[in-house]
Chain A
Amino acid sequence: MNKQRVLIVDDEPDIVESIKFNLELEDIECLEAYDGEEALLKAKTQNPDLILLDIMLPKMNGYKVARLLSFDETYKNIPIIMLTARTQEKDVLLGEATGAKEYISKPFDMNMLVALVKEYLSKGK
């Protein structure tokens, strides 16, 4: 049985690390990306089951990544949970418009995030 795989995208290494730590405790494999380009590449090549996507990324922001993925038949079904420090309403709307399933603002409750990840992963099966 293949382990579930989650791509964590954030330009803050600490945040990536702490999420990774928690997910691995749940027996979830984690991939990392620290900018938009890397995120897109890994999403297309590494076959993640879910993407945790920050918005404020260098090189290409999270919206664009999500939108580009949504245009691609192969990848548009990967569930995306957006994480961001930006809390403007327009950001929320934009986020929803790009096809993300959830929109979580930082700082978040890790337990809640883990539960959400598990939920979407089980849906995907």
Chain B
Amino acid sequence: MDKTIKPQEKATILIVNDEPIILKLIGDVLAKEGHEIYTADRGDNALKIINDVSIDILVTDIKMPEMDGVQFINEAKKIAPEILVIVITGFPEIDSAINLLKINVYDYIVKPMDPDDVMASVNRAWDRQRQNYENKQLIQDLKSANDLLQQREGRFRSLTENTSDWIWELDVNGVFTYSNPKAYDILGYRQEVIIGKTPFDFMSADEAQRVAGFFRETAQSGKPFSFFENTNVHKDGRHIIIETSGVPFLDKDGNLLGYRGVNRNITDRKQAEIERKQLNERLRESRESRESFQAIVNKNPGGIIIVNKKGIIKFVNPAAELLFRKKADELIGSMFGLPLANGDNEKMELDIITENGKTGTADMRVLETTWLGEPAYLATLFDVTAIKEAEENLIKTNEELINIAQMKTEFISIASHELRTPLTSIKNAVDILLYKKAGELNAKQEQFTAMAAHNIDRLVILLNDLLDTAKLDAGKVKLEFAELDPGYIFQKAVDTFKPQAEAKSQTLEIDYDSLNNIPTIYADYAKIQQVMNNLISNALKFTQEGGKVILSARAISDFGFQSANLKQGEKDSAIRNPQSAIEISVTDNGSGLSMDDQKMIFDKFYQAGHTLDQKSKGSGLGLNISRGLVKAHGGKLLVESEPGKGCRFFFTLPGFSPEDIEMSVLEIEISKLANHPPFSLLCLNLKGIGPLSKHAKGLKIHRQFLAQLKDVAAGVIRQDSDRIIMQKHFGRLIIILPGTAKAGAMIVRNKLKTAFYENPVFFDEQAGQVFSISMPVTFPEDGQIVKKLLKKLQTYQE
């Protein structure tokens, strides 16, 4: 039994002896020392006492009345193993002293004993015992401390080993001196690998640099840090984001020994953050998008209505509310009441009541759509009341303008007529006088009559010019296109102006070389002659005596074709296929024109400053008219000049011919079909009759004939898509059969032959067939280029 071991000042001593005198003697001596004394005269009593009391020292005689001394000591030691025994023994019992040594007696005293010896022995024993006790206490304390330490270490270990965080310790150089096993879970490296390396060894180069720098700074400051994020590389190459916190630890002098801390794997958290941000972003975008669309729908000035297939209104936007003058909750759920199923996006008109209670119109377009998963109609409405009004006004205004233009033309026409009539009489009267048909005239009479005659001529020119200008302005110049030979025009002009030129010793000549390689042009002969006359007249007027005027022409390729005064279809094809063109020039070596003059010379009534001949001053409209006439042909009239170096007036004329136009139209038609093969062509050639131009006389008959042919042919060909193109100038009909291959085309050909046999068409009462039907030409079989196909058609004549 573990009695409480207490370090005391005085011992508790048990003296055992069967002689009471000795008991007393020893007792007194020891009591004087201050010890606590117990006595017993028998072994069993002594044992009892030892049992009850905590005895430090046992002083006992070896001889006991009722038991063996050794046995007694053994028993005592059993009860109190710590007890120190001093034995009193007589000489003769020395042998048994050896036994006593065996039982570990502290000391023995031989009788007769000296009480001082007893006292000394007890004191020694007590010192010894006290030491024992102290040692024991120390050991026990140590044991407790150790136990506590173990306990704590156990607690600590189970925490660090089992935590989900990576716990580490670094020295001042950043080398791992401790790492818990969690490093393996986080980075894939075992503790043994970690320890001895630095954290930077597990990072990419850039990151290592950054983090090492951070550690250096922190270590210098000796401060703790928390939640420092850094990216490490897992053994398998993955990037792991770690959140690190650490605190410094110091030695007893306050020097930094290193840092200890915790690493937490926040890769997932970071990922989750990113994903959360993305999700939020997407939600936000989706919401914004939805809001934007809502805004569009709500702010749309046009009414938007959704009606389901049963005709019930499901949705209206604010604009629609306005149009129907009802609120959304009134409209939604009610019948729309108007037909909607008229096909996709067809436009319909609705009558509505506008703000001020008047009736108006709205445009409605209906589309099929879905609404909340079900098929429905989307109707967009737009209040077009104002637009319609404006349209009607515009039409009215337009009509008025046309009226005014018409009136203007009529006015000019009437005015010019009214002016001409008296002018004619004046001229006639003056001419009678001037030509002396009413008698002789003296010199003065003749002079002044001549003056009158001259001015009448001027007036006539002015009148004609004014009328021309008005017609050009009104776009009412109709051109009669015909084949034109520039050489012929030049010659006529020279003939006209030769006398005038000779009067001033001027040379008016034609550059014949320039006429060699120019294409045929098509223009209105009278108008072009007018232009030439105007230019030549100007040239002669503005050139000095003995000067020179040259007429020349040249072919040009790009002449910037403007819109010509042609029928619509012809115009388009001409633009698409600008053939050749020519440029006609009237060049003089007169005084030239200044830049200012050049700019304004084509303006109405503008006269260049230095008319050489006051008498021959014109109306100032000539060039304006010439420019307008050239423009009507689709060309341009321009001037090139330097003061002192003469002038060159030049104009362009397009080189297309009616044949060209007809061919272009045909080519365009055929080109359209190239995307939908196959197709075939047949040609009805008017043999012996030839092109239209050779039949000026029988124009009408020729046209009638072709028209009749076309009628018969139309009766034969089957489909709406088949086309018959009349080429008057080639004297033929081209039949286009889309989607038809050679065999089909042959059938059509045979049908045509039969039809013409049954319905003969005569040209100018000539009996017999005057035309032939070619063999069919098929695309792509007979060729892939339109021009080649047409050429083949020519050769496929019977």
A60 at the interface (CB under 8 A from B): no
B420 at the interface (CB under 8 A from A): yes
Residue numbers in A under 8 Å from B480 (CB-CB)? 89
Question: Contact at B413–A12, with CB atoms within 8 Å?
Answer: no
Q: How far is the CA of A105 from the CA of B460 in the complex (A)?
A: 11
Whether A106 contacts B437 in the complex (CB less than 8 A), given A15-B428, A87-B416, A87-B467, comes out as no
Question: Contact at B427–A107, with CB atoms within 8 Å?
Answer: yes
Question: Contact at B478–A89, with CB atoms within 8 Å?
Answer: yes
Question: Contact at A85–B421, with CB atoms within 8 Å?
Answer: yes
Q: How far is the CA of A106 from the CA of B416 in the complex (A)?
A: 10
Q: How far is the CA of A88 from the CA of B478 in the complex (A)?
A: 10
Q: How far is the CA of A110 from the CA of B457 in the complex (A)?
A: 13
Q: How far is the CA of A108 from the CA of B413 in the complex (A)?
A: 18
Question: Contact at B437–A25, with CB atoms within 8 Å?
Answer: yes
Question: Contact at A110–B416, with CB atoms within 8 Å?
Answer: no
Contact with B along A75-118 (1 / 0, CB 8 A): 00000000001111100000000000000011110110000000
Residue numbers in A under 8 Å from B435 (CB-CB)? 110-111
Question: Contact at A110–B413, with CB atoms within 8 Å?
Answer: no
Which residue on chain A has the smallest CB distance to residue B476? A88
Interface size (A, Cβ < 8 Å)? 20
Contact with A along B422-448 (1 / 0, CB 8 A): 111101110110010110000000000
Question: Contact at A14–B428, with CB atoms within 8 Å?
Answer: yes
Question: Contact at B432–A106, with CB atoms within 8 Å?
Answer: no
Binding site for A on B (CB under 8 A): 413, 416-418, 420-425, 427-429, 431-432, 435, 437-438, 456, 460, 464, 467, 478, 480
Give the residue of B438, B460, B467, B478 whose beta carbon is less than 8 angstroms from that of A107: B460
Instruction: Please choose the segment from A16-24, A35-43, A45-53, A64-72 that sits at the chain B interface, where 4 or more of its residues have CB less than 8 A away.
Output: A16-24
Question: Contact at B437–A21, with CB atoms within 8 Å?
Answer: yes
Question: Contact at A106–B421, with CB atoms within 8 Å?
Answer: yes
Q: How far is the CA of A44 from the CA of B233 in the complex (A)?
A: 125
Looking at B427, B464, B467, B480, which has the most chain A CB atoms within 10 Å of its CB?
Answer: B427
A121 at the interface (CB under 8 A from B): no
A28 at the interface (CB under 8 A from B): no
Q: How far is the CA of A106 from the CA of B427 in the complex (A)?
A: 10
Which residue on chain B has the smallest CB distance to residue A105? B420
Residue numbers in A under 8 Å from B467 (CB-CB)? 87
Q: How far is the CA of A88 from the CA of B416 in the complex (A)?
A: 11
Q: How far is the CA of A12 from the CA of B437 in the complex (A)?
A: 21
Question: Could you write out 16 A-B pairs with CB less than 8 Å apart?
Answer: A14-B422, A14-B428, A14-B429, A15-B424, A19-B428, A21-B432, A22-B428, A25-B437, A85-B416, A85-B421, A86-B417, A89-B478, A107-B423, A107-B424, A107-B427, A107-B456
List 19 other contacts, CB 8 Å, given A107-B428, A111-B431: A12-B421, A12-B425, A14-B428, A15-B421, A15-B428, A18-B429, A19-B428, A21-B438, A85-B424, A86-B417, A87-B416, A87-B464, A105-B420, A106-B420, A106-B421, A107-B427, A107-B460, A110-B427, A110-B432
Interchain nearest-CB distance for A17 vs B (Å): 8
Question: Contact at A85–B425, with CB atoms within 8 Å?
Answer: no
Q: How far is the CA of A56 from the CA of B343 in the complex (A)?
A: 59
Q: How far is the CA of A86 from the CA of B429 in the complex (A)?
A: 21
Which residue on chain A has the smallest CB distance to residue B418? A85
Q: How far is the CA of A106 from the CA of B423 in the complex (A)?
A: 8
Which residue on chain B has the smallest CB distance to residue A56? B417
Residue numbers in A under 8 Å from B429 (CB-CB)? 14, 18
Q: How far is the CA of A21 from the CA of B309 in the complex (A)?
A: 92
Question: Contact at B413–A18, with CB atoms within 8 Å?
Answer: no
Q: How far is the CA of A55 from the CA of B318 in the complex (A)?
A: 69
Interchain nearest-CB distance for A102 vs B (Å): 16
Which residue on chain A has the smallest CB distance to residue B426? A107
Interchain nearest-CB distance for A85 vs B (Å): 4
Q: How far is the CA of A86 from the CA of B422 in the complex (A)?
A: 14
Question: Contact at A15–B425, with CB atoms within 8 Å?
Answer: yes
Question: Contact at B420–A18, with CB atoms within 8 Å?
Answer: no
Question: Contact at A22–B437, with CB atoms within 8 Å?
Answer: yes
Which residue on chain A has the smallest CB distance to residue B427? A107
Residue numbers in B under 8 Å from A14 (CB-CB)? 422, 425, 428-429
Residue numbers in B under 8 Å from A86 (CB-CB)? 413, 417
Looking at A12, A15, A107, A111, which has the most chain B CB atoms within 10 Å of its CB?
Answer: A107
Whether A22 contacts B424 in the complex (CB less than 8 A), given A86-B417, A89-B478, comes out as no
